[in-house]
């Protein structure tokens, strides 16, 4: 049965309608993840309702009359997302938008089922923060005599999603212990679960921002603290939304320029103006800022040039920041095609130096990488897949599996292959060289996707080690 709430609950004073929300700069993009039925849809519904980001007709459609008054089914507010998952979306996730007086948010509902782990990986790779929900009613410490600090008792999907968010370098990870309103001793259960989460994160090297006790159904510690019981569950910190309002966004705009070429627009024939007729390289700025006058290097060729002009998606000239589409013209014609990268050129060498400038990134065909295996068929050495790096498709052969990570013990175990939803380290050989760098240095140049060449299914998320 779906969760419901009373409509007459006071709305937070900080909540405003989306249309009234001021432009507060870059929005925080975050996902909710965790196991099935941990309350992710209810939490999203609560945030949308309390921030008044739900249209009246949509709200009316999920509201029913009871003897206690009108009640809205929170989980049904995200039916659109659930329907998209049922249609077999594998590499994309639907996002919803809402605002408060403090900032704007983009929220994605990552599926809890193991077979939809690929959706969670896709969403996490774009997120500034991850809220990992933990259902307190499913864990043994909800009962008398349960283990006090047994992190192994955490649900596998809680551990898997936390590890994936950590591996994907989601900047902020928050644990939200949900459904504590259903337990007679909320403070005791929260203390035990917090201890287990602390032990797990320390063993895994995960730095969590906070662990927040809450009831998404009742709204306790979601937008604000429980009104009739401050310090509920022994917690004195900020509510979840208050915490999200303070988290940083990914600093891609401050990073070094990385621009994957998606399309090369050729000049119209018969145009005698060389400058106007110069080719335009189109794509979305992955990191940094694209400005005229910048010295850049094209990879994998290593050719250098100066950016002559930058235009935005409506062809207006001007600088373009990370996350936005842009077209650029170089001061010279180079051999550039779809799949190449335009990056910030390395520092120039002195005129009297005999040394060549050090390339920004080495081009390589051999990769050591951490793999989140998403296909139903196991990864086996010797198999060849299509690999997508930026906008370049190349073939990749699996040389060997170095080890598999046991998500329960966090031990690195010897393995010949990787089954579905496993995480492990592998060696890959690529058909051509790419400017791959460790994922820890770049979330864009250090990430690939493997696709099964026979079924066209997304098989793995690859993070260069």
- pLDDT digit string, tens, across residues 331-369: 998 999 999 999 998 876 555 655 555 556 788 999 999
pTM for the predicted model, two decimal places: 0.78
Segments in the chain below pLDDT 70: 1-25, 53-94, 112-116, 142-152, 251-254, 268-277, 348-360
pLDDT at 256: 86
Q: State the Cα–Cα distance between residues 128 and 144, nearest whole angstrom.
A: 38
Q: The tokens of 133 are what? A: 């929900």
Burial of 332 (0-12, 13-18, 19+ CB in 10 A): exposed
The CATH number of the structural domain formed by 28-246 is: 3.40.50.300
State the CB neighbour count (10 A cutoff) for residue 171.
16
Which residues are bridge partners to 403 per DSSP? Answer: 425
Q: Crossing angle, helix 186-204 and helix 156-167, to 10 degrees?
A: 50
Q: The tokens of 452 are what? A: 């099964």
Q: What share of the chain is helix, strand, coil (3-state, %, to 5)?
A: 20, 35, 45
Same fold, 258-344 and 363-464: yes
pLDDT at 16: 37
Class of domain 258-344: mainly beta
Q: State the Cα–Cα distance between residues 45 and 54, nearest whole angstrom.
A: 9
pLDDT at 441: 86
Give the residue extent of every domain in the chain.
Answer: 28-246, 258-344, 363-464
Q: Does domain 363-464 fall into CATH 2.40.30.10?
A: yes
């Amino acid at each position: 049965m779906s969760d419901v709430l009373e409509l007459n609950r006071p709305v937070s004073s900080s909540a405003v309608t989306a249309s009234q929300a001021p432009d507060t700069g870059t929005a925080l993009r975050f996902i909710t993840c965790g196991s099935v039925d941990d309350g992710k849809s209810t939490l999203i519904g609560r945030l949308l309702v309390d921030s008044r980001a739900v249209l009246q007709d949509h709200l009316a459609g999920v509201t029913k009359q009871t003897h206690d008054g009108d009640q809205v089914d929170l989980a049904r507010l995200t039916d659109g997302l659930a329907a998209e998952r049922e249609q077999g979306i594998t590499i994309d996730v639907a996002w919803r938008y809402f605002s408060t007086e403090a900032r704007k948010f983009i929220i994605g509902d990552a599926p809890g089922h193991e077979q939809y782990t690929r959706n969670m990986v896709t969403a996490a790779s774009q997120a500034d923060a991850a809220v990992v929900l933990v259902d307190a009613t499913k864990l043994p410490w909800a009962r008398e005599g349960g283990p006090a600090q047994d992190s192994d008792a955490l649900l596998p999907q809680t551990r898997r999603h936390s590890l994936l968010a950590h591996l994907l370098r989601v900047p902020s990870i928050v644990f939200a212990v949900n459904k504590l309103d259903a337990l007679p001793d909320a403070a005791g259960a929260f203390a035990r679960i917090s201890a287990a989460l602390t032990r797990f994160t320390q063993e895994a090297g995960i730095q969590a921002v906070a662990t927040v006790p809450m009831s998404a159904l009742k709204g306790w510690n979601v937008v604000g603290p429980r009104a009739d019981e401050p310090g509920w569950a022994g917690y004195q910190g900020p509510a979840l939304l208050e915490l999200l309002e303070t988290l940083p966004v990914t600093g891609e705009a401050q990073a070094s320029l990385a621009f994957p070429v998606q399309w090369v627009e050729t000049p119209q024939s018969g145009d005698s103006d060389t400058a106007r007729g110069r080719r335009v390289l189109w794509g979305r700025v992955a990191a940094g800022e694209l400005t005229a006058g910048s010295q850049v290097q094209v990879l994998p060729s290593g050719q250098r040039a100066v950016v002559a002009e930058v235009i935005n998606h409506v062809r207006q000239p001007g600088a373009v920041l990370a996350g936005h589409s842009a077209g650029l013209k170089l001061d010279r014609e180079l051999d550039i095609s779809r799949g190449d990268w335009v990056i910030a050129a390395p520092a120039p060498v002195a005129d009297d130096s005999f040394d060549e400038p050090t390339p920004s990134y080495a081009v390589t065909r051999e990769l050591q990488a951490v793999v989140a295996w998403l296909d139903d068929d196991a990864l086996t050495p010797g198999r060849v897949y299509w690999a997508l790096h930026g906008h370049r498709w190349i073939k990749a052969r699996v040389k060997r599996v170095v080890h598999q990570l046991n998500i329960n013990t966090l031990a690195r175990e010897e393995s010949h292959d990787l089954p579905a939803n496993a995480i492990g380290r592998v060696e890959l050989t690529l058909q051509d060289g790419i400017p791959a760098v460790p994922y820890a240095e770049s979330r864009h140049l250090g990430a690939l996707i493997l696709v099964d060449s026979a079924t066209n299914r997304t098989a793995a998320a690859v993070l260069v080690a």
